[in-house]
Amino acid sequence: MAYKNMSDCVSDLEKNGHLIRIKEEVDPYLQMASIQLRVYEAQGPAILFENVKGSKFPAVSNLFGTLERSRFMFRDTLELVQKMVQLKGDPSLAFKNPFKYAGVPLAAWKALPKKSLFKPSILNQKAQISDLPQIHHWPKDGGAYVTLPIVYTEDVEKPGVMNSNLGMYRIQLSGNDFIPNKEIGLHYQIHRGIGVHQTKANALGKPLHVSIFVGGPPSHSFGAVMPLPEGLSELTFSGALGGRRFRYYKTKEHTISSDADFVITGKVYPMENKPEGPFGDHLGYYSLKHDFPLMKVDQVYHRKGAIWPFTVVGRPPQEDTSFGKLIHEITGSIIPKEIPGLHEVNAVDEAGVHPLLFALGSERYTPYLEVKQPAELLTIANHILGFGQMSLAKYLIIAAKEDNPNITVNDTHAFFNHVLARVDWTRDLHFQTNTTIDTLDYSGTGLNSGSKLVIAAVGNPKRELASTLPEMNQWPNEIKSVKNASEGVLAIEIGDFINYEAEKEKINRIALQLAEQQDKLINHPLILICDDASFIEANFNNLIWACFTRSNPSHDIYGVNCFTEYKHWGCQSSLIIDCRMKPHSAPLLELDPKVEASVDAMAAKGGSLHGII
């Protein structure tokens, strides 16, 4: 089904039982977000909000809320796009199996962007920023945001659509110091194509012309988040996935998507920034207020019958989790081909993606040695940390496929246990300090700044992981509570974090006391210092999320019987990770009780929401 716009998509989903309409007036201040969060958690349908308070435009959410629905929207093209990506990684496949890839040339033709010969109708209807649905997602958000924007820029040195960049960078429509209807905030993280474009424009002293597309075929939104192989344009991918060429039109200053539901045009001038944020983000915390590029608005266009798409991000899983699953289906086979020796990777969604990456590689360098140690795994790890957005990984945990041919990085709990059973903390820890980390990760020393840790484990199991507490003679007095959080993992409480100087002294003192009984810790290779041991114990997702989103490897890792030898740090017994909230940590996302009560009341009335949430 080749959708021409968002209305086509909504009609198709409704016809096939994938969408419900909410006819009652709903407030874009927190209410719409609350409904989206609940429907997603129930794995419910897409939601069309027909009556958005303060706006004449309807809004739709949860389009990508389930992998089944994502596949349904691209049911006619998904298999062909997968084959296109496979051929990009290995063109010889077309010769080895020509019938399997026979339809690829047609899909490739649909991938070519198409210039509209006549002025598209979207340019005939104008609005203001304040006319758009002003969706406020979390209580401490700095204002209303666009959460499914398709941000289009071009290379000023090589103008044209084939050298363009599509990206999904959140847009702040209101709040802070933005002049209403004239200025909006353009937030983008490190390692994004728009940064290259802005750098070139700044060097020439020219403004960067930006077009923000909202709505249109859902393939356009998906193309904006797709981590494509080098040389494959987001526009071509969007056209191939949508089964319809990406149609565009050139005005005097901007490129317009002819099929979008909304287009916001404007300019970003060199070194003109304003505070943007806070914003409740996909790690489960607020990203805080910082200076980001200021976009001065030229025009706001909309098509007749325009529908405003949005999503809500928060602690995973959320709707963007389905984005990630579909991306993996499409590109899962291509990344290992790009990195020799790599079999699988998993940017762990439960930990917010970039804080934790699992990888499975080969260890073939020294098959003649009986005692195994990481060698090829470290080469693969270095390659991963220099490859696309995987370079943002803060913790990279890698193991050898030869040690267990049945292990997979997608079974996160089993893979984690596989590594804990084999890891040698004296050898297998490899730090990078004073480096870049994900913009949204506030565990480090500043914005975009922190450290990384590679944990590489290989060989036969060195220990059995215990599922019960160790029989210690006595726990250090400063430990207030101890839980066996998972196989081989202890969660302990020692009180609130004060500052690094005080905590370093306290934790090292505890480690010294534990070292006196380290034989009792043999089957507990990992100790987590946390704010709430019961929370960590409750389920494995809590453990992964708290551990890897709240710790900075260089600052928050300690060890029982630790040592530094020729600048290599390790420990002879349990590794200790301090994953408590710190004074510099970003606040947790919490719902507004009054808004939640209002949504409960709406559902209880028996209207459109009855039986859905």
DSSP string, 284-308: SBEE--EEEEEEEEEEEEE-TT--E
Q: What would the pLDDT profile of 573-605 be if each residue is shown by its tens digit?
A: 999 999 999 999 999 999 999 999 999 998 888
Q: Give the containing element (helix H, strand E) for 214.
A: strand 208-214
Q: Which residue carries 């080969």 as its tokens?
A: 362
The rounded distance, in Å, linking the Cα atoms of 107 and 238 is 11
Virtual torsion, Cα 509, 515, 518, 523, nearest 10 deg: 40
Query: Taking a C-beta distance cutoff of 8 angstroms, is the pair 19, 13 a contact?
Result: yes
Output the pLDDT for position 55: 98
What secondary structure letter does DSSP report for 230?
T
Q: Give the containing element (helix H, strand E) for 603.
A: helix 593-604
Query: Taking a C-beta distance cutoff of 8 angstroms, is the pair 254, 211 a contact?
Result: yes
The tokens describing 434, both together, are 């004073």
The tokens describing 389, both together, are 């957005």
| CA–CA distances in Å: residue 296 to residues 154, 155, 178, 198, 254 | 17, 19, 10, 14, 13
Q: What would the pLDDT profile of 12-68 be if each residue is shown by its tens digit?
A: 999 999 999 999 999 999 999 999 999 999 999 999 999 999 999 999 999 999 999
The rounded distance, in Å, linking the Cα atoms of 549 and 585 is 10
pTM of the model: 0.93
- Judged on CB neighbours under 10 Å (0-12, 13-18, 19+), 368 is exposed
Which candidate, 411, 405, 391, 277, places its Cα nearest to that of 348?
Answer: 411
Cis peptide before 58 (omega within 30 of 0): no
Radius of gyration, alpha carbons of the chain: 25
The tokens describing 573, both together, are 């017994």
Which candidate, 187, 190, 167, places its Cα nearest to that of 178?
Answer: 187
The rounded distance, in Å, linking the Cα atoms of 592 and 285 is 15
Query: In this structure, are strands 290-302 and 183-186 parallel, antiparallel, or unpaired?
Result: antiparallel
The tokens describing 343, both together, are 């079999």
The tokens describing 192, both together, are 């994004």
DSSP 468-531: S----S---TT--EEEEEETTEEEEE------HHHHHHHHHHHHHHHHTTGGGGTT--EEEE-S
Q: Could you tell me which residues are beta bridge partners of residue 328?
A: none
The stretches in the chain having pLDDT less than 70 are 86-110, 228-232, 332-334
Give the sign of the dihedral formed by CA 598, CA 604, CA 610, CA 612.
positive
Output the pLDDT for position 236: 87
List the alpha helices (DSSP H) in 62-192. Answer: 67-73, 78-89, 93-96, 104-111
Output the pLDDT for position 99: 45
Residues contacting 539, CB < 8 A, separation 6+: none
- What is the amino acid identity at position 91? P
Q: What would the pLDDT profile of 204-224 be if each residue is shown by its tens digit?
A: 999 999 999 999 999 999 988
Which candidate, 433, 404, 414, places its Cα nearest to that of 346?
Answer: 414
The rounded distance, in Å, linking the Cα atoms of 350 and 412 is 9
The tokens describing 335, both together, are 């990344």
Phi and psi for 250 in degrees, rounded to 5?
-100, 120
The tokens describing 169, both together, are 């960078």
Which candidate, 305, 280, 393, 296, places its Cα nearest to that of 347?
Answer: 393
List the alpha helices (DSSP H) in 146-295. Answer: 193-203, 218-225, 234-242
The rounded distance, in Å, linking the Cα atoms of 318 and 221 is 16
The rounded distance, in Å, linking the Cα atoms of 222 and 220 is 5
The rounded distance, in Å, linking the Cα atoms of 547 and 563 is 23
Query: Taking a C-beta distance cutoff of 8 angstroms, is the pair 276, 447 a contact?
Result: no
Output the pLDDT for position 603: 87
Output the pLDDT for position 333: 64
Q: Identify the structural domains of the chain with CATH numbers, from first to last.
A: 6-314 (2.30.110.10), 333-457 (3.40.1670.10), 481-578 (no CATH)
The tokens describing 216, both together, are 């249109």
Q: Could you tell me which residues are beta bridge partners of residue 486?
A: 489
Virtual torsion, Cα 331, 335, 337, 340, nearest 10 deg: -170
